[in-house]
Structure 1
Amino acid sequence: MDNEQMSEILSEEVIQEIKTVLENKNLAEAIESVNTIITDIKNIPLNVAITGESGSGKSTFINVIRGLITDEEEDAAITGVVETTMEPTPFSHLQYKNVKFWDLPGIGTPNFKAADYLEEVKFSQYDFFIIIASERFKENHIQLAQAIHSMNKKFYFIRSKVDVDLQSSRKRRNRSFNEENILQQIRKKCTKSLCDGEVGEPHVFVLSLMDLHKYDFNRMQNTLEEELPRHKRHMLLLSLPNITLQVLERKRKALNKLNWLRAFLFSVSAATHTKGYEILQKAIKDHLNIFGLDTSSLIKLSNTFGKDINDLKSVIKSPFASTEINQELIQKQLTKNVAKGQISVENFLSYIPIIGNLITGGATFFRSYIMLCESLKDFLEDASNVLQKAMEDST
């Protein structure tokens, strides 16, 4: 296997990370470094501020972005046509408690002053702001954007409730109705009003909070991911609801980059007397939850789309999603995926010889890494099929 072939399995970025951790360190120090990396990644804080006028959909957005089905679930942000938020209120992601979406007080008061508002809500604690409007963007929105910009913070605009605009237009102009043209008109109108307010080149996304997967959701996700620092980007991506195929694929790629961490810990487990299979078992269970293939997630999805949960389960093929994840199953998949990969362990170890120098489990590292990567491919396919099944015949 040459370097180009190996890079198809391990990216250059991942290879460099492995070398950095292992170089000039003994086994105990390398293990400690890997454990520290895993812990740090899990604990990365992300704080997103959500603001706008009352009735614009701030609280509903917070609920749906956290994966809640209705606004009546436990720990849901309170919604209403009148302002219900009197002070900044954090709502943690259901899986990642270090990811918080902050419901900020509305900005529609007559005496609104952007600079004072940002000081009151402690603007410095947020990674970026999302400003939501259900109609046009007004002077208050522009003032707030200008103030956020002056404080060197990122901000993004969401034009909510476009489903209402589309429904109204279809009713009044059924013959000439063109959804994409109307959406483009809304985007242009919003962007122009913001540009006239001298807020630079604003990012405007049109969304329906009732059907978040439609319209500009993927574009918004791409923009946020591109502009966030690398470590924050990872947490944002994992916290997004599994409502589009693009989100699922990006999650797979992000998790793939971290598989070597657990593969390394598994490969040294014999030398350190740790329970190696528990490491892989936990990783696989985490991945199942992230892709929404656990029982709790499937129940939520079936309720959301009114589908029988057995219909959703019928399109799931991965053995990890259909039976108990134990040592016997993991051993079977380790053997299966090495044969499937058809890659020489010797060449792998020669490509990253430092692994062979530090541990006797180089071959074990390789096999467990391949198994984790292959299982993610299966989870992506299953999650895609489940999502498509759930959305069949939905309007």
Structure 2
Amino acid sequence: MDLVTKLPQNIWKTFTLFINMANYLKRLISPWSKSMTAGESLYSSQNSSSPEVIEDIGKAVTEGNLQKVIGIVKDEIQSKSRYRVKIAVTGDSGNGMSSFINALRFIGHEEGDSAPTGVVRTTKKPACYSSDSHFPYVELWDLPGLGATAQSVESYLEEMQISTFDLIIIVASEQFSSNHVKLAITMQRMRKRFYVVWTKLDRDLSTSTFPEPQLLQSIQRNIRENLQQAQVRDPPLFLISCFSPSFHDFPELRNTLQKDIFSIRYRDPLEIISQVCD
């Protein structure tokens, strides 16, 4: 311990930063992980450190070369800071995926780089959008909706290359269909991080005869019961209106998304690194 405390101040600060960040990242792990078996990762990740990096850190730790460990970790953190997080937005056709992407980016549907919207199916092939001012180094992918063809969920996900995405947002409105349940089942089986977002809440509120709190509880209960019947653990669930991106669950959705983007970028690689160092 005396040797460690005598390290040059800049190295000691960097090492302390690394330890604090690793501990912080561990606290961000979802409570779901408590139900996983030992050694099993909760989420599959596209953003992992290369075997070469892990081997180099292992050697440096074995040699007791703390300065080399810190140098490798700093380079790895800098590299991961530029990792482009890929988010897929999917659901049944007509559920408002494109409108949701526009609202998430704080832009109107009339703007030049907005996702096209309409009452008929407007997204016929995957389209990528970005919002660097709100979500730097993040790709929002507007996927064609399910339900317009007889295509199975399995073939749809294969065609959309869903395994290449870091996070999937399942959008629903009017009803939580069997397609939505199948999507959630597949995401859980693939160990993909995913949300369920109920859109068009403004329309639900304007047509419902129930008070708002009762309506919201009813929608949430219906979605959760459908998922529980399929043995899907409760994912993050948000009820929103794309016309009111500052109200309902939209602010909470953005906060959760920011935290998960941070986790996707740093948590998995730094967890492995911290295990090696331990």
TM > 0.5 fold call: yes
Q: Are 2:141 and 1:102 aligned?
A: yes
Q: Are 2:193 and 1:154 aligned?
A: yes
Shift of 1:178: 3.0
Alignment counterpart, residue 227 of structure 2, candidates 170, 186, 194: 194
Indicate the SS of the match to 1:100: strand
Shift of 1:13: 9.3
Alignment counterpart, residue 126 of structure 2, candidates 88, 93, 96: 88
Aligned in 2, Cα 1:215/1:97: closer, same or farther, shift over 3 Å?
closer
Distance in 2 (CA, whole Å) between partners of 1:204 and 1:18 is: 32
Distance in 1 (CA, whole Å) between partners of 2:19 and 2:171 is: 45
Gaps (5+ residues) in structure 2?
A: 1-11, 21-65, 268-278
Structure with more strand by fraction: 2
TM-score for the superposition, normalised by structure 1:
0.47
Q: Count residues in correspondence.
A: 209
Gaps (5+ residues) in structure 1?
A: 1-11, 235-395
Tell me which amino acid in the other structure corresponds to 1:209.
Answer: C
Q: Are 2:115 and 1:77 aligned?
A: yes
Which residue number corresponds to residue 16 of structure 1? 16
Alignment counterpart, residue 212 of structure 1, candidates 242, 245, 256: 245
Distance in 1 (CA, whole Å) between partners of 2:125 and 2:227 is: 26
Aligned in 2, Cα 1:124/1:204: closer, same or farther, shift over 3 Å?
same
Distance in 1 (CA, whole Å) between partners of 2:83 and 2:111 is: 26
Aligned in 2, Cα 1:118/1:179: closer, same or farther, shift over 3 Å?
same
Aligned in 2, Cα 1:209/1:90: closer, same or farther, shift over 3 Å?
same
Which residue number corresponds to residue 113 of structure 1? 152
| 157-166 or 79-88: bigger deviation | 79-88
Indicate the SS of the match to 2:223: helix
* Contact kept? 1:112, 1:140, Cα under 8 Å: no
Distance in 1 (CA, whole Å) between partners of 2:178 and 2:67 is: 58
Tell me which amino acid in the other structure corresponds to 1:163.
Answer: D
Shift of 1:228: 5.6
* Contact kept? 2:245, 2:251, Cα under 8 Å: no
* Contact kept? 2:100, 2:199, Cα under 8 Å: no
Structure with more helix by fraction: 1
Aligned in 2, Cα 1:190/1:231: closer, same or farther, shift over 3 Å?
closer
* Contact kept? 2:85, 2:261, Cα under 8 Å: no
Aligned CA-pair RMSD: 3.2
Distance in 2 (CA, whole Å) between partners of 1:14 and 1:214 is: 40
Aligned in 2, Cα 1:41/1:149: closer, same or farther, shift over 3 Å?
closer
Distance in 2 (CA, whole Å) between partners of 1:93 and 1:54 is: 24
Shift of 1:14: 7.4
Aligned in 2, Cα 1:227/1:24: closer, same or farther, shift over 3 Å?
closer
Matches within 5 A, 1:185-264: 185-224=218-257, 230=263, 232=265
Q: Percent identity?
A: 34
Which residue number corresponds to residue 132 of structure 1? 171
- Structure ranking higher on relative contact order (CA contacts 8 Å, 6+ apart): 2
Indicate the SS of the match to 2:197: strand
* Contact kept? 2:169, 2:197, Cα under 8 Å: yes
Tell me which amino acid in the other structure corresponds to 1:207.
Answer: I
Distance in 2 (CA, whole Å) between partners of 1:18 and 1:198 is: 38
Matches within 5 A, 1:362-377: none
Matches within 5 A, 1:261-300: none
Indicate the SS of the match to 1:50: strand
Shift of 1:202: 3.5
Alignment counterpart, residue 164 of structure 1, candidates 198, 203, 227: 203
Shift of 1:216: 1.6
Distance in 2 (CA, whole Å) between partners of 1:154 and 1:24 is: 35
Q: Deviations for 1:209-229, whole angstroms, at most 9, x for unmatched residues? A: 111221122443454455566
Tell me which amino acid in the other structure corresponds to 2:213.
Answer: E
Tell me which amino acid in the other structure corresponds to 1:196.
Answer: Q
Matches within 5 A, 1:31-70: 36=75, 39-40=78-79, 42-68=81-107, 70=108
Higher Cα radius of gyration: 1
Distance in 2 (CA, whole Å) between partners of 1:97 and 1:221 is: 13
